[in-house]
Structure 1
Amino acid sequence: MIIIVLIILSILTYVSWMNINNRTTRFVAGLISFGLLMVTILFLTANMNSHYGMKQVTTSSEKTIYSAGGSKSPAGMLITQQLGTKADNYVMIYADREDKKAKPHFVPDKKNMTEAVHKRATYQTADVDKATVKTVTTRWEWRNDFFKLMLGFGGEGHSLVKQTATVTVPEKTWVILSAKQAKQLTAKQQMAAQDKTAAAAQQKQMREGVQAKVATYLKANPKASANDVADYTQQVTAEMTAAAMKQMLK
Structure 2
Amino acid sequence: MIIFILLLSVVGFAFTFVLAKKSWQTGFGIVCGGIFLLSLVLVTANFVSHFGMKKVVETESIELVSSADGLDVLLYKPLGDGSEKVYLYQTPKSEEPTPTETDHVTNKVTEGTSPELVTETSYWDYKNDFYKLFFGIVNNNHEFIEAENTFNVPASWEVLSVDQMKEFGQLAKERQASFKEKAQKEIQTKLMAAIQKDPTLATDEAKKQTLIEQWTAELQAKMMQDLLNEVK
TM-score by length of 2: 0.75
Structure 1: unaligned runs, 5 residues or longer: 109-115, 209-232
- 1:103 pairs with one of 84, 97, 100: 97
- Between Structure 1 and Structure 2, whose CA radius of gyration is higher? 2
* Farther-moved stretch of structure 1 (49-58 vs 141-150): 141-150
Residues in 2 aligned to 1:135 and 1:94: alpha-carbon distance in whole angstroms: 13
Q: Deviations over 1:178-208 (max 9, x none)?
A: 1111111111211232233124457x59x99
Answering whether residue 172 of structure 2 is matched by residue 180 of structure 1, we say no
Distance in 2 separating the partners of 1:169 and 1:201: 36
Distance 1:16 1:248, change over 3 A: same
Pick from 73, 81, 95 the counterpart of residue 85 of structure 1.
81
1:164 aligns with 2:164: no
Query: Are the counterparts in 2 of residues 193 and 199 from structure 1 also a CA contact under 8 Å?
Result: no
Letter in 1 for 2:160: L
The reply to whether residue 4 of structure 1 matches residue 4 of structure 2 is yes
Amino acid at match of 1:178: S
Superimposed CA distance per residue, residues 85-144 of structure 1 (whole angstroms, 9 cap, x where no aligned partner)? 264x322233211x75441421x4xxxxxxx421223323x2x33211111111111112
What residue in structure 2 maps to residue 53 of structure 1? 52
Root mean square deviation, CA, Å: 2.9
Supply the AA of the counterpart residue of 2:89. Y
1:16 deviation in Å?
A: 1.9
Contact 1:81–1:179 (8 Å) recurs in 2 = yes
**Aligned residues of 2:171 and 2:227 also touching (Cα < 8 A):** no
- Counterpart for residue 206 of structure 2: none
Distance 1:166 1:95 in 2: 14
Counterpart of 1:85 in 2: which secondary structure?
coil
Residue 133 to residue 200, structure 1, CA distance change in 2 (3 Å): farther
Deviation at 1:66, TM superposition (A): 0.7
The answer (yes or no) to whether the contact 1:188–1:248 under 8 Å persists in 2 is no
> What's the counterpart of residue 227 of structure 1?
none
- How many Å apart are 1:59 and its aligned residue? 1.2
Give the CA deviation at 1:50.
0.9
The corresponding residue for 2:15 is: 15
Aligned position for 2:175: 192
Change (3 A) 1:249 1:86: closer
Q: Distance in 2 between matches of 1:120 and 1:200?
A: 47
Superposition map of 1:218-233 within 5 A: none
Does structure 2 conserve the Cα–Cα contact (< 8 Å) formed by 1:60 and 1:136? yes
> Does the CA contact (< 8 Å) of 1:9 and 1:37 recur in 2?
yes
**Is the 1:175–1:245 contact (alpha carbons within 8 Å) kept by the matching residues of 2?**
no
Q: Pick from 111, 121, 126: which aligns with 1:137? A: 121
Count of matched residue positions in the alignment of Structure 1 and Structure 2 = 203
Determine helix, strand or coil for the equivalent of 1:246. Answer: helix
The alpha-carbon distance between structure 1 residues 169 and 58, as it changes in their structure 2 partners (threshold 3 A), is same
Q: Of 115, 118, 128, which aligns to 2:104?
A: 118
Give per-residue Cα distances to partners, 1:61-80, cap 9 Å, x unaligned.
1122011223xx4x511121
SS in 2 for 1:152: helix
Tell me, in whole angstroms, the C-alpha distance in 1 between the residues paired with 2:104 and 2:157. Answer: 29
Question: Where does residue 209 of structure 2 map in the other structure?
Answer: none
* Contiguous gaps of at least 5 residues in structure 2: 192-213
User: Residues 2 and 150 of structure 1 are in contact (CA less than 8 Å); yes or no, is this contact kept in structure 2?
Assistant: yes
Partner SS for 1:153: helix
Following TM superposition, by how much is the alpha carbon of 1:162 offset from its aligned partner in structure 2, in angstroms?
Answer: 0.7
